């Protein structure tokens, strides 16, 4: 019997996904330092209407003027390279004025304006690293029954609970779990939507009954709007994201992901592989 994830919204998602009519996404939790996925902490959700991806790189301006001036002056004294002309000498003198105190610097700046001469700072842009990517997803969940409202509540609480760190001692904390996020299209992982690396939950915002005051008989709100923000655990390199020979995502490079789960190609296979791991773990603990 196929393993059924305990948290799926909407309740019709499984049937629609298996027929290929409904793209969907999954969130799976992994404890820090553990390559396996927690079988009881998987959420399958519909794909939001809007999905944005933003990649960023950090660059810093670096002035190479001082080094260039020193080299040019040394070459001039040794008779190498191009000779410094009058403008170069004037610019260097004016630059020295600017380092001679407030009054002298003001006089040097004024003279520079009159002559129309300034030293070239030789500003270059130096690469410093990539920016860790962040993700945000907006879900609006309308419960058609009290049972579906309970599932929505559990989804919300699973994300919130695992956003928090656990105590590791009187003064220390365990890292919160990381989230493995994947996009699916029918029986395959989507080739068109981005690949997200393992991430921490950085923000969770929930609004109840945004459109009106509506409740089920047991008091559960009919409408729940949820915004979840994720931040990847590290900055990436090109080889983390892409295969060397083409533009395909390097899905095998997703950190230390469990190989059976990594090779799953559908919601059904992912569920079965995670159930198997959970059963093996329980059997080992029983022995």
* DSSP secondary structure string for all residues of 217-284: TTS-BSEEEEEEEEEESS---HHHHB-SSSSSB-GGGSTT--HHHHT--SHHHHHHHHHHHHHHHHHH
- In the prediction, which pLDDT does 121 show? 76
Average pLDDT over residues 2-23: 73
Q: Lowest-pLDDT range, 63-72, 121-130, 207-216, 220-229?
A: 63-72
Confidence category of residue 2, pLDDT binned at 50, 70, 90:
very low
- In the prediction, which pLDDT does 283 show? 73
How many whole angstroms separate alpha carbon 23 and alpha carbon 276? Answer: 25
**93 vs 38, residue with greater confidence:** 38
pLDDT of residue 14 exceeding 90: no
- In the prediction, which pLDDT does 194 show? 92
Confidence category of residue 36, pLDDT binned at 50, 70, 90:
confident
Q: Which tokens is 135 given?
A: 């993700």
pLDDT of residue 232 exceeding 80: yes
Q: Which tokens is 71 given?
A: 């080299």
- In the prediction, which pLDDT does 1 show? 31
Cis before residue 10, ω within 30 degrees of 0?
A: yes
Bridge partners (DSSP) listed for residue 62: 124
- In the prediction, which pLDDT does 34 show? 72
- In the prediction, which pLDDT does 15 show? 77
Q: Show Cβ contacts of residue 248 under 8 Å, excluding neighbours closer than 6 positions.
A: 191, 242
Mean pLDDT (the chain, rounded): 79
Confidence category of residue 272, pLDDT binned at 50, 70, 90:
low
- In the prediction, which pLDDT does 80 show? 54
Residue 59 has what DSSP assignment?
E
Query: What is the share, in percent, of the chain residues with pLDDT greater than 70?
Result: 66
- In the prediction, which pLDDT does 167 show? 92
Average pLDDT over residues 198-206: 96
Closest-CA residue to 248 (of 158, 180, 188, 178): 188
How many whole angstroms separate alpha carbon 248 and alpha carbon 55? Answer: 17
Q: Please state whether 230 falls in left (phi above 0), alpha (psi between -120 and 50) or beta.
A: beta
With H, G, I as helix, E, B as strand and everything else as coil, classify residue 70: helix
pLDDT tens digits, residue range 123-169? 889 999 999 999 999 999 999 999 999 999 999 999 999 999 999 88
pLDDT of residue 120 exceeding 60: yes
How many whole angstroms separate alpha carbon 142 and alpha carbon 152? Answer: 9
How many whole angstroms separate alpha carbon 195 and alpha carbon 243? Answer: 12
Question: Do 150 and 81 contact (CB within 8 A), yes or no?
Answer: no
- In the prediction, which pLDDT does 3 show? 45
- In the prediction, which pLDDT does 188 show? 80
How many whole angstroms separate alpha carbon 22 and alpha carbon 47? Answer: 8
Average pLDDT over residues 117-122: 72
- In the prediction, which pLDDT does 87 show? 60
Average pLDDT over residues 82-90: 57
How many whole angstroms separate alpha carbon 16 and alpha carbon 5? Answer: 15
Question: Do 47 and 182 contact (CB within 8 A), yes or no?
Answer: no
How many whole angstroms separate alpha carbon 278 and alpha carbon 256? Answer: 18
pTM: 0.73
């Amino acid at each position: 019997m196929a393993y059924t994830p305990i948290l799926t919204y909407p309740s019709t998602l499984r049937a629609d996904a298996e027929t290929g009519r409904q793209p969907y996404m999954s969130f799976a939790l992994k404890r820090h330092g553990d390559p396996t996925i927690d079988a009881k902490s998987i959420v399958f959700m519909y794909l939001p209407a809007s999905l944005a991806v933003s990649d960023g790189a950090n660059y810093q301006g670096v002035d190479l003027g001082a080094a260039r001036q020193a080299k040019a002056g040394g070459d001039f004294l040794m008779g190498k390279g191009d000779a410094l002309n009058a403008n170069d000498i004037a610019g260097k003198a004016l630059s020295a004025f600017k380092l001679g105190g407030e009054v002298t610097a003001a006089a040097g700046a004024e003279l520079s304006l009159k002559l129309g001469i300034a030293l070239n700072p030789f500003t270059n842009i130096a690469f410093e690293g990539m920016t860790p990517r962040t993700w945000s997803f907006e879900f609006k969940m309308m419960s058609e029954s009290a049972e579906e409202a309970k599932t929505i509540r559990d989804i919300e609480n699973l994300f919130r609970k695992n956003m928090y760190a656990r105590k590791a001692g009187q003064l220390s904390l365990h890292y919160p779990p990381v989230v493995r996020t994947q996009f699916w299209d029918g029986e395959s992982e989507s080739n068109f939507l981005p690949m997200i690396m393992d991430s921490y939950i950085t923000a969770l915002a929930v609004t109840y009954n945004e459109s009106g005051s509506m409740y089920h008989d047991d008091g559960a709100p009919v409408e729940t709007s949820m915004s979840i923000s994720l931040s990847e655990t590290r900055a990436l390199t090109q080889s983390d994201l892409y295969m060397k020979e083409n533009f395909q995502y390097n899905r095998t490079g997703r950190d230390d992901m469990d190989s059976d789960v990594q090779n799953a190609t559908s919601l059904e296979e992912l569920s079965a592989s995670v159930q198997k791991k959970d059963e093996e773990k329980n059997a080992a603990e029983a022995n």
